Structure 1
Amino acid sequence: MFDKNLLSELQPYRCKIYAIILADIVLAGVIIARCYYLADIINGMLFFQLSLQTAVPQLVLLFVLFLAETGLGYGIHAVTHSISVGIRRRIRRALVYKLSESSPLSSIYDNTDLLPLLTRGIDSLDAYFAQFLPQMIVTVVIPLVILPAAFYCDWISGFIFLLTMPLIPFFMILIGKKAQVENNRQWTALSRLSELFMNLLSGMSVIKVYNQTKNQLKKAVDTGELFSQAVLRVLRIAFLSAFFLELIATLSIAIIAVNIGFRLLSGQTIFLAAFFILLLAPEFYKPLRQTGSMFHQAMDALTNSPKIYNLLDDKITKEQFCKKKIHLDSAPCIVFTGVGFNYNANRENVLRDINMEFAAGKVTALIGRSGAGKSTVFSLLMKFAKPDKGKILINGEDIGTIATDSLRENIAYVAQRAYIFNASIRENICLGRKVNAERLQKAISAAGLTKVIAAMPQQLDTIIGDDSRKLSSGQMRRLSLARAFLSDAPLLLLDEPLESLDSITEKVVKEGIRQLSEGKTVVIIAHRLASIKQADAIYVMDRGKIVEHGSDSELKRNKALYYKMVNSTMEGSLI
């Protein structure tokens, strides 16, 4: 019912919470006064010939009390809503920051709950902060304020209030435990359904090629049916809970009404006291009844809270604030000293005792068979991963001490297959940066995209990345080059930029890379001979180690692994 992580979010709002408690105490007093004055007016009209004209002051006061009650309720709701908005905004920002700082290799991106948590999961916290917790305060404050008034007016009715009051929370807790279990099952079913849809959409071409559409459709329908059943089970418990809570409250009010009726007939109490207690009884049980329904609305928040805080529980959100900034005015020198790395502590190292240097202003090539560790070197340079041992120095500075954002501002990366966003060509090249038209046009021209864009329907404003318009592999590579030209960073990382290109496109891309590499430190992951011919230094990797390094001519004279790879190539490919 109470979550320590969610309750800790209330610390900055203590003053507002105290104000809510005070407002609820005042609200309870207004309710008591409103019930008393209404009972007094009816009593006067029935037994003391109170006329409407004479009762005007009391009616005006009663109207003021109604207004005060409504105003207090609205004010409490506004304050609790502002608290809920503030907490959800902080959590959403923390999650977004966590995602932006996390490595793309992190398991956080494999979490199928990620999208539901960022959307529906965080929004579900509103029911907890804006409804359930305020209702719990009301449930504690109002009955405790009303109870002394009931004892003072009629101690027997007050005693019945006291005896029946624990019944509603008791049954709510019993039913709530079962509801929590079913709600967890509902969320699990939703996660499975989300995961299934993501897998089906990403593998749609494979499903169609192997003629498995009907089978997968049946699987989706069955999984959707399981989710529907889980939702219905939660709703059934919610309706049963509401029924029992209303029944208990109604029976309690009935007991009080019957008891007061018999005593009123026998002359053991007066009409004013009896009617006042009858008006007070529904107000006494109302918060208790409402708590049950509010609890069911807050169930999603209690289910999602552990998942949200498991994502937030990471050092990465704390470390970035204490790291230094870096700005490289010229091509940097990068040195790997005894670097070791593994994605899984229980497996063999991906990189083992790597020592190498990427000289400033030079082109260095990394070659090796698939799985040798080349891409991992790039991941370490871009801080997508951290070395398990050893250091990576950039101009003598350990990159572990440099803020991630600051480091990446000095890196341009051309991937083997550039990701294309479903947006305009302009947006795909600029990636949110404000760029003047002249600078953008220079980057486009240098990447050999001028004619390609000119042939597009809306040129730079043409939407790409969706099913209506696809780019070829070569065009995507050029677009990636345009991004790199635009950043003009002093460190350039190229992941086999000439892979899968026809001869004409290869020539354009090679020329673009030549221009882009001027005055920069360039590191190339090479699978093709054409990519390493102009390299100043070559490092040959095998099973996570540097097995040899030197220039092309030096490595050929050694007649070791590099020599064997070059002489066994097919169509210019090293692997």
Structure 2
Amino acid sequence: MRPLDPRLLRHASAARRFLAAGAVIGVAHTVVVICGAWLLTRCIVLAVDGRGLTAVSPVIGLLAAAVVARSVLTWLQDLAAARAASEVKRQLRARALDALAAGGPARIAGRHSAHVTTVLTGGLDALDTYFSRYLPQLLLTAIATPLLVAVILWNDPASGVTVILALPLIPVFMVLVGWRTQAAQQEQWLALQRLASGFLDVIGGLATLKIYGREHRQPARLRAITEEYQGRTMGVLRVSFLSGFVLELAASLSVALVAVSIGLRLVDGQLPFATGLFVLLLAPEAFLPLRQVGAQFHAAADGIAAADEVFALLAPAPAPAVAHSRPGVRGNESEGRAEAGVRFEGVRFEGVVVRARVTSEPVTAHVRPGELSVIAGPSGAGKTTLLRALAGFVPFDGRISRNGMPVGQDDTRGWLAWAGQRPQLFSGTVASNVTLGAASVDLPLLQRALALAGIPSIDPARTVGGSASGLSGGQAQRVAVARACYRALANGCDVVALDEPTSALDDEAEAALLRGLRALAQAGRAVIVVSHRPAVLAAADAVVHVGETAARALEAARA
């Protein structure tokens, strides 16, 4: 991320408002600094000239007012920065969550869930420092430094030229130090992600580690990652302190050049005392914002890195290539429920190949309404991936169409009810999990959905913990199927897609669920099930074979 990334202004309106307010405050702050330096100069000159307290008192009063005004403006700048940081974090989090919801699993493909969690929580919190310390100084550098240099140049051209020649030294040091700071911060950020991911992996697999007697090794592993993170943090702090020293040294030497020049000309009588003092008071102020930008860069580095990660999440996903699309027909025309008065003709797969799978074979099939269609094939052939392409979770080549209209990856798919291979249940009740996303709960419809899923006797008020705790594997699986059934019934979805819905069920529960799926299909829906279970294949009206060519070639090679 650059010092002021345009993406921040594009994705967070609060950042634009802060820049506008910060610019106004920066101009006022600069005017107050110039007035304060001039008033202080007048006080000293009047005192040197031997003027009494009566003559100096009005100037002292104005100087006190300038000091108060500067303090108030600094407070307003801090207040605006704090509010902007809070609002920007809220807006970025909301946009990132919307992007994750819209993009589905494809949006975070290749990213660890702990990584995304770290970015959206503690990572974005580091933007507080970016807005409170770094960005105000960046604004002052763009506003105050040119104005102060112009005033110095107007009053004393020699000192103005000295300041102009010395100012570029600080950005040069900033760039050199910034590269090192950025590298150290990036290493620290990666160490933090490894720590978060490692901890969540240990917690998630604790039962397996316990069974295999490997739980005692994990504290040492986490300790090593923690110590690595601690070392990276100390490295960032070391670079930060050194960078602060270098920048202070460069600024001090630059101000010293101006002071020596003014002192020599004062001794020779070439420069009036009032002018020399006024310029000498303004010189440190001209260097201060630029010096603070360099000093605060390291403090804002975490926020900058986290914002970069959020912008990566917000970046548009690659659009799927939909072959043989009808001219003038947009992919999103297939969104929403079944169109009123339009007969549902099913879903067609035409040469569909998922890009993420190098070995996947083109799939061509027609899933008809009123039928229970089963996608079958050997393990790893791409059955689940094909269903994910239908749901818009992964980019694909070829064509998926509904009622003859192409389905794009960005469509909202209001016509689709889906349940994945792993039942994603949330803390709450069975009813809240089944009616997830519904504005209100229709109790008769809820009972109907539970009956279709083969669990009519389960209590809708039964509490479900995180990761489906409180339910057996088969019950959790059927609650997820009931959620898809409820969505299909409530929203009029004409396609129901289920991934391995009977893998954890016994024969009796499987038969009950298949009866429910048959009832869904007989109502005119296309029911698509990924499964390799014999009972499901026997109950299917149509079977779509995936990866059979590769399987036959492998068997032939083995033979």
TM over 0.5: yes
Aligned mate of 1:430, from 415, 430, 435: 435
Taking a change above 3 Å as real, the CA distance of residues 66 and 516 of structure 1, as seen in their structure-2 partners, is same
Taking a change above 3 Å as real, the CA distance of residues 497 and 278 of structure 1, as seen in their structure-2 partners, is closer
Q: Distance in 1 between matches of 2:18 and 2:89?
A: 16
2:400 aligned with 1:392? yes
Q: Which moved more, 1:159-168 or 1:312-321?
A: 312-321
Question: Secondary structure of 2:375's partner?
Answer: strand
What is the CA distance between 1:239 and its match in structure 2?
Answer: 0.9
Query: Counterpart of 1:7 in structure 2: which amino acid?
Result: P
> Residues 391-432 of structure 1: CA distance to partner in whole angstroms, max 9, x if unpaired?
3332222223x8521x2x222234454222233333222213
Query: Counterpart of 2:345 in structure 1: which amino acid?
Result: C
Q: Distance in 2 between matches of 1:318 and 1:380?
A: 10
Taking a change above 3 Å as real, the CA distance of residues 98 and 317 of structure 1, as seen in their structure-2 partners, is farther
Query: Counterpart of 1:375 in structure 2: which amino acid?
Result: T
Give the share of equivalent positions with the same residue, in percent: 28
Match in the other structure for 2:325: none
What is the CA distance between 1:229 and its match in structure 2?
Answer: 0.8
State how 1:13-24 maps to structure 2 within 5 Å.
17=19, 20-21=22-23, 23-24=25-26
Q: Which moved more, 1:332-341 or 1:301-310?
A: 301-310
What is the CA distance between 1:460 and its match in structure 2?
Answer: 1.6
Q: Distance in 2 between matches of 1:187 and 1:335?
A: 45
2:377 aligned with 1:368? yes
Match in the other structure for 1:524: 529
Match in the other structure for 1:339: 351
Taking a change above 3 Å as real, the CA distance of residues 341 and 161 of structure 1, as seen in their structure-2 partners, is closer
State how 1:38-437 maps to structure 2 within 5 Å.
38-45=40-47, 47-52=49-54, 54-76=55-77, 91-104=92-105, 108-111=109-112, 113-125=115-127, 127-128=129-130, 131-151=133-153, 153=155, 158=160, 161-162=163-164, 164-253=166-255, 272-273=274-275, 275-304=277-306, 307-315=309-317, 323-324=332-333, 325-328=335-338, 332-336=344-348, 338-344=350-356, 347-348=358-359, 350-354=360-364, 356-389=365-398, 391-400=399-408, 404-405=411-412, 407=413, 409-436=414-441
Query: Counterpart of 1:96 in structure 2: which amino acid?
Result: L
Query: Counterpart of 2:66 in structure 1: which amino acid?
Result: L
2:470 aligned with 1:470? yes
Q: Tell me the TM-score normalized by structure 2.
A: 0.80
Query: Counterpart of 1:419 in structure 2: which amino acid?
Result: Q
Q: Distance in 1 between matches of 2:267 and 2:410?
A: 82
Q: Distance in 2 between matches of 1:352 and 1:321?
A: 23
Q: Distance in 2 between matches of 1:289 and 1:423?
A: 53
Query: Counterpart of 2:438 in structure 1: which amino acid?
Result: R
What is the CA distance between 1:88 and its match in structure 2?
Answer: 5.1
2:495 aligned with 1:495? no
State how 1:447-458 maps to structure 2 within 5 Å.
447=453, 449=455, 451-453=457-459
Question: Secondary structure of 1:193's partner?
Answer: helix
Q: Distance in 1 between matches of 2:117 and 2:226?
A: 18
Q: Distance in 1 between matches of 2:467 and 2:396?
A: 37
Q: Distance in 2 between matches of 1:178 and 1:372?
A: 47
Checking the alignment, whether the CA contact within 8 Å between 1:332 and 1:491 is kept in structure 2 is: no
Q: Which moved more, 1:141-150 or 1:232-241?
A: 141-150
What is the CA distance between 1:234 and its match in structure 2?
Answer: 0.8
> Residues 274-331 of structure 1: CA distance to partner in whole angstroms, max 9, x if unpaired?
5444543442332233122222223234545654444443345899997223421688
Taking a change above 3 Å as real, the CA distance of residues 272 and 518 of structure 1, as seen in their structure-2 partners, is same
Match in the other structure for 2:6: 7
Q: Tell me the TM-score normalized by structure 1.
A: 0.78
Checking the alignment, whether the CA contact within 8 Å between 2:416 and 2:495 is kept in structure 1 is: yes
Task: Give the root-mean-square deviation of aligned CA atoms.
Answer: 4.0
Q: Distance in 2 between matches of 1:86 and 1:322?
A: 35
Q: Distance in 2 between matches of 1:238 and 1:140?
A: 23
Taking a change above 3 Å as real, the CA distance of residues 278 and 478 of structure 1, as seen in their structure-2 partners, is same
Q: Which moved more, 1:215-224 or 1:74-83?
A: 74-83
> Residues 356-393 of structure 1: CA distance to partner in whole angstroms, max 9, x if unpaired?
3222222233333334443344223322335422x333
Taking a change above 3 Å as real, the CA distance of residues 321 and 165 of structure 1, as seen in their structure-2 partners, is farther
Q: Distance in 1 between matches of 2:548 and 2:47?
A: 97
Checking the alignment, whether the CA contact within 8 Å between 1:373 and 1:544 is kept in structure 2 is: no
Checking the alignment, whether the CA contact within 8 Å between 1:352 and 1:545 is kept in structure 2 is: no
Q: Distance in 2 between matches of 1:158 and 1:542?
A: 76
> Residues 141-160 of structure 1: CA distance to partner in whole angstroms, max 9, x if unpaired?
43333334445555665565
Question: Secondary structure of 1:213's partner?
Answer: coil
Segments of 5+ residues of structure 1 without an aligned counterpart are 454-458, 548-560, 562-575
What is the CA distance between 1:83 and its match in structure 2?
Answer: 6.1
Q: Distance in 1 between matches of 2:304 and 2:422?
A: 42
Q: Distance in 2 between matches of 1:72 and 1:295?
A: 22
Q: Which moved more, 1:285-294 or 1:139-148?
A: 139-148
Q: Distance in 2 between matches of 1:139 and 1:195?
A: 39
Q: Distance in 1 between matches of 2:515 and 2:16?
A: 63
Q: Distance in 2 between matches of 1:470 and 1:479?
A: 12
Q: Which moved more, 1:16-25 or 1:522-531?
A: 16-25
What is the CA distance between 1:497 and its match in structure 2?
Answer: 3.2
Match in the other structure for 1:571: none
What is the CA distance between 1:68 and its match in structure 2?
Answer: 3.5
Taking a change above 3 Å as real, the CA distance of residues 261 and 205 of structure 1, as seen in their structure-2 partners, is same
Query: Counterpart of 2:503 in structure 1: which amino acid?
Result: E
